[in-house]
């Protein structure tokens, strides 16, 4: 299959697909095109949505067409893509206390590590935020240690509290809202990932790196005040 591919999504979306797989290099290409398009937006472009391996370009069909957009985008396609800058690593305080990390005990038994080993493994690397979605501000993170990868719960919970940090297969993520979910919950952050009342309503951004920093239950409670 030849990349990049241009795919229609209805009469308002054009998908520019860079690859069939996931890697930091592909993500860099997606973000490089996003930057080029936001610096010099072709007529009719309304919104840009970067995901793992493609950029969704939302447009006004009254002002442009897939043909015109494809031509305009082809000119902006990155020839050489610099790697994503690591930039500032966002620190996410997480309390791994068993009262908040509902599945931590079971996960540690399933992967054959002690609880402190699981916490050390989870909080010792920088994770790349590949994209945001599912619910507002939910980060799809890459970089989980395979030593603590673990399948989802057989039956999803009807309510996972906002801030819960979970593991599903080789992914880890944070629930921004109270929502149903099947990820194994190992801790909770007192930070709000989505707050519509703020001028910057989202804590994270696709393409950024983050790191989990263990905190005590006391600290979690102190930071939760005013949430």
Partner 1 sequence: MKLYVEEPGMLTTVQDRGRRGYRAYGLPAAGAMDYRSLSLANTLLGNPPGTAALEITLLGPTLSISGSGTLALAGADLGARLNGWPLAAVEAFAVKAGDILSFTAPLNGCRSYLAIAGGFKLPQVLGSHSTYLRGATGGYQGRALRQGDILESAASSPTSFWQGALPAGLSGLTPPLASPHYEAVVRVLLGPQDDYFDSANIALFFESNWQVTLEADRMGYRLKGPVLQHKAKREIVSDGILPGAIQVPPAGAPIVLLADAQTCGGYPKIATVITADLGIFGQLMPGDSVQFAATTFATAAAATQAWESFLTELAIWLQRQQGSTPKRYRVRTAGGEHLVSIQTIS
Tell which residue, 55, 27, 12, has the closest CA to residue 143.
27
Nearer to partner 1, 101 or 142 (CB): 142
Q: Coil, helix or strand for 47?
A: strand
Nearer to partner 1, 13 or 214 (CB): 13
Question: Which residues of this chain interact with partner 1, rule CB under 8 A?
Answer: 7-13, 15, 17, 20-22, 46-56, 58, 61-62, 65-66, 131-138, 140, 176-177, 179, 194, 196-197, 201-202, 205-206
CA distances from 94 to 70, 156, 213, 217, 225 (A): 44, 22, 6, 9, 15
Nearer to partner 1, 32 or 108 (CB): 32
Q: In angstroms, what is the minimal distance from the CB of 21 to partner 1? A: 7
CA distance 93 to 165: 11
Q: In angstroms, what is the minimal distance from the CB of 213 to partner 1? A: 23
Nearer to partner 1, 112 or 226 (CB): 226
Q: In angstroms, what is the minimal distance from the CB of 3 to partner 1? A: 13
Q: Do residues 224 and 190 touch, judged by C-beta distance below 8 A?
A: yes
User: What is the full DSSP assignment across 123-137?
Assistant: TSS-EEEEEE-SSTT
């Amino acid at each position: 299959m030849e990349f990049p591919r241009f795919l229609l999504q209805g009469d308002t979306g054009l998908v520019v697909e860079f690859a069939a797989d996931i890697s930091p290099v592909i993500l860099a290409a997606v973000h490089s095109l996003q930057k080029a398009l936001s610096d010099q937006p072709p007529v009719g472009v309304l919104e840009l949505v970067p995901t793992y391996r493609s950029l969704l370009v939302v447009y006004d069909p009254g002002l442009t067409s897939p043909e015109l957009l494809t031509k305009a985008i082809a000119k902006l396609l990155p020839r050489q893509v610099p790697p994503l800058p690591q930039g500032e690593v966002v620190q996410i305080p997480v309390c791994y206390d068993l009262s908040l990390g509902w599945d931590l005990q079971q996960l540690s038994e399933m992967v054959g590590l002690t609880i402190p080993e699981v916490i050390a493994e989870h909080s010792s690397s920088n994770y790349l935020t590949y994209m945001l979605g599912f619910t507002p501000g939910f980060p799809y993170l890459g970089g989980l240690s395979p030593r603590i990868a673990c399948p989802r719960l057989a039956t999803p919970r009807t309510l996972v509290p906002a801030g819960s940090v979970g593991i599903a297969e080789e992914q880890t993520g944070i629930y921004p809202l109270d929502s149903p979910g099947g990820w194994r919950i190992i801790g909770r952050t007192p930070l709000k990932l989505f707050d519509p009342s703020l001028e910057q309503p989202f804590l994270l951004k696709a393409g950024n790196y983050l790191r989990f920093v263990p905190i005590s239950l006391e600290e979690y409670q102190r930071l939760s005040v005013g949430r």
